[in-house]
Amino acid sequence: MKVFKFGGASVQQTEKIQNVANIIRSYPDQQILIVISAMGKTTNALEKVAEAFFEGRQEEALQLFEVIKHNHINTSKYLLVTHFNALMEQLTNFFTEVEWLLHDKPVREYDYYYDQIVCVGELLSTAIVSAYLNESGIPAQWVDVRDIFRTDNNFRDAAIDWSFTSQRVQEEILPLFENSNIVLTQGFIGSTDENESTTLGREGSDYSAAVFANLLNAESQTIWKDVEGVMNADPKQFPNAQFIAELNYEEVIEMAYYGAQVIHPKTIKPLQNKSIPLLVKCFLDKDLPGTVIHNKQVKGLPPIIVLKPDQALIHLHSKDFSFVGEKPVADLYQLFSDIKIKPNLIQTGAVSIQVAIDDKPEKIQKLALDAAEFFEVQVEKGLTLLTVRHYQDGLLQELTNGHSVKLKQQTPQTVQVLMHQ
């Protein structure tokens, strides 16, 4: 049993979907569970629908969703003949699921509506790919993962109920492989015990695939991307980025923690717990070896560079120049938890704390307001967080040259620099 995950870039056009079928054909007589993301930039487009709806711009939300519908129907027309009508019936059900909500008015929190709307991206893409595979002579069984993944109701960052989900995998997923070698489902989404859709955090499809790999005791998980494997930097930002053939789980967790987009941060633990190797391969050339990620020690790694733009620096200063002790720090961390903020960098002084976080205005405003009870608060925006693992002084100088450095933290393995963009 293998688990494959195809991201949005690998299914964003008709020829890319045809390529997915070619990749699957190259693994004959093998049982594969396939997890697929929303097509291309569909998630971004659906986020705009959710925002317009929540802000009371109902007509705009419906018009934006109409564009998404049109794009998916067009893709289906180009791909399908015999399976088109059945697919249209399935897609119409998903369209109706969202439109029914958009004709209402919001009475709950934004994150709830975000999940109900954004989850449809994965449902649409997987329905289309499944129909194409079957029309192309690759029998594939489509599954709504919301019937499998039970989560809590922490919308936009839901936690999986492993016990219930494991039972559903045994009862619903495994029997499907008795009739077909290919089972196809969605990443990123789940459902509460009240059948409300949830999402597992942005880019959560990698994690979904890892959960399936763990519960199915898969021999491997493969993430298919548009690069030859894991690189030491984002090749879009650094054209001379180097390919890395081999990594271990710990190194990848560190990379993900610091913001590298190659693997979702929660992906590794389910694989590491059962020593399931993770392969990162290129869907543009399936014959390239790709990167292998495993439990073994790896030496001689190049510097690994991660840039996170759009950072805000929160300056917190005690109001009466008293020391920043355990109580205010504990209160601050409670605020992080309540507002669902993950600090990217924290530096503590005698009477002040500086915190770098992603620039999300609504969260920053709430943090600044609540923290003002026990701190003087200032907010500085327009910053970038640079992280370099296995750094070299010359490289660090080159990367920070011409930038005004606001914060710097350094260990023997890793250096982080917060600087003006």
Domain boundary among the residues 294, 315, 344 is at 294
Using 50, 70 and 90 to split pLDDT, how confident is the model at 293? Answer: very high
Residue 151 DSSP class? B
What are the pLDDT digits (tens) for 161-176? 999 999 999 999 999 9
> What does the pLDDT average to over 250-269?
84
| Residues whose CB is less than 8 angstroms from the CB of residue 13 and which lie 6 or more positions away in sequence, other chains included | 40, 75
DSSP secondary structure string, 234-262?
Answer: -TTT-TTPPEE-EEEHHHHHHHHHTT-SS
Say if residue 243 is in the same domain as residue 387.
no
Using 50, 70 and 90 to split pLDDT, how confident is the model at 264? Answer: confident
Of residues 1, 2, 6, 68, the one with CA closest to residue 223: 6
Say if residue 345 is in the same domain as residue 200.
no
> With 90 as the cut, is the pLDDT of residue 122 above it?
yes
Between residues 263 and 166, the one the model is more confident about = 166
Say if residue 350 is in the same domain as residue 406.
yes
Q: How many helices (H) and strands (E) does the chain have?
A: 13, 18
Number of domains in the chain: 2
Which token pair is 314?
A: 């929160």
pLDDT for 226 equals 85
Of residues 144, 125, 118, the one with CA closest to residue 43: 118
Q: How far is CA 392 from the centre of its chain?
A: 30
116 lies in some domain = yes
> How close are the terminal C-alpha atoms of the chain, in Å?
46
Between residues 319 and 381, the one the model is more confident about = 381
> What does the pLDDT average to over 38-49?
97
171 lies in some domain = yes
Q: Nearest 10 degrees: CA dihedral of 150, 222, 17, 169?
A: -30
Say if residue 124 is in the same domain as residue 202.
yes
pLDDT for 328 equals 82
182 lies in some domain = yes
Say if residue 289 is in the same domain as residue 309.
no
- Crossing angle of the two packed helices 84-102 and 58-79, in degrees rounded to 10: 170
Q: Note whether 281 and 225 are within 8 A (CB).
A: yes
What are the pLDDT digits (tens) for 50-99? 999 999 999 999 999 999 999 999 999 999 999 999 999 999 999 999 99
> What does the pLDDT average to over 354-367?
94
Q: What is the CATH number of the domain that holds 76?
A: 3.40.1160.10
Q: 280 is in which domain, residue-wise?
A: 2-294
Say if residue 348 is in the same domain as residue 203.
no
pLDDT for 236 equals 86
Say if residue 326 is in the same domain as residue 215.
no
Three-state DSSP class for residue 288: coil
Of residues 239, 377, 356, the one with CA closest to residue 309: 356
pLDDT for 260 equals 83
pLDDT for 327 equals 81
> With 90 as the cut, is the pLDDT of residue 34 above it?
yes
**Alpha-helical segments (H) within 340-392:** 361-371
pLDDT for 393 equals 82
pLDDT for 322 equals 77
Q: Which long-range contacts (CB under 8 A, 24 or more apart) does 390-398 make?
A: 390/301, 390/302, 390/303, 390/304, 391/303, 391/415, 392/303, 395/303
88 lies in some domain = yes
> What does the pLDDT average to over 304-324?
90
Residues 151 and 157: their CA atoms lie apart, in Å, by 10
299 lies in some domain = no
Using 50, 70 and 90 to split pLDDT, how confident is the model at 38? Answer: very high
- Crossing angle of the two packed helices 361-371 and 326-339, in degrees rounded to 10: 150
Residues 377 and 99: their CA atoms lie apart, in Å, by 42
> What does the pLDDT average to over 289-311?
93
Q: Note whether 393 and 401 are within 8 A (CB).
A: no
> With 90 as the cut, is the pLDDT of residue 321 above it?
no
Q: What is the CATH number of the domain that holds 407?
A: 3.30.2130.10
> With 90 as the cut, is the pLDDT of residue 320 above it?
no
Residues 90 and 86: their CA atoms lie apart, in Å, by 7
Say if residue 290 is in the same domain as residue 312.
no
Say if residue 285 is in the same domain as residue 311.
no
SS3 content of the chain, % helix, strand, coil (to 5): 40, 25, 35
Q: Are strands 278-282 and 220-225 parallel, antiparallel or unpaired?
A: parallel
Say if residue 219 is in the same domain as residue 90.
yes
pLDDT for 211 equals 98
Q: Is the pTM for the entire model greater than 0.85?
A: yes
> With 80 as the cut, is the pLDDT of residue 406 above it?
yes
pLDDT for 347 equals 93
> What does the pLDDT average to over 230-238?
91
> With 90 as the cut, is the pLDDT of residue 319 above it?
no
Say if residue 238 is in the same domain as residue 344.
no
Domain boundary among the residues 250, 272, 294 is at 294
pLDDT for 257 equals 84
Q: Nearest 10 degrees: CA dihedral of 367, 371, 377, 378?
A: -10
Cα 30 to Cα 2, 3, 218, 251, 284: the distances in Å are: 8, 11, 12, 30, 21
Residues 56 and 239: their CA atoms lie apart, in Å, by 43
What are the pLDDT digits (tens) for 187-199? 999 999 999 999 9
379 lies in some domain = yes
> What does the pLDDT average to over 145-157?
97
Q: Note whether 184 and 190 are within 8 A (CB).
A: no
Give me the chain's average pLDDT, please: 94
Say if residue 318 is in the same domain as residue 266.
no
Domain boundary among the residues 294, 323, 353 is at 294
> With 80 as the cut, is the pLDDT of residue 265 above it?
no
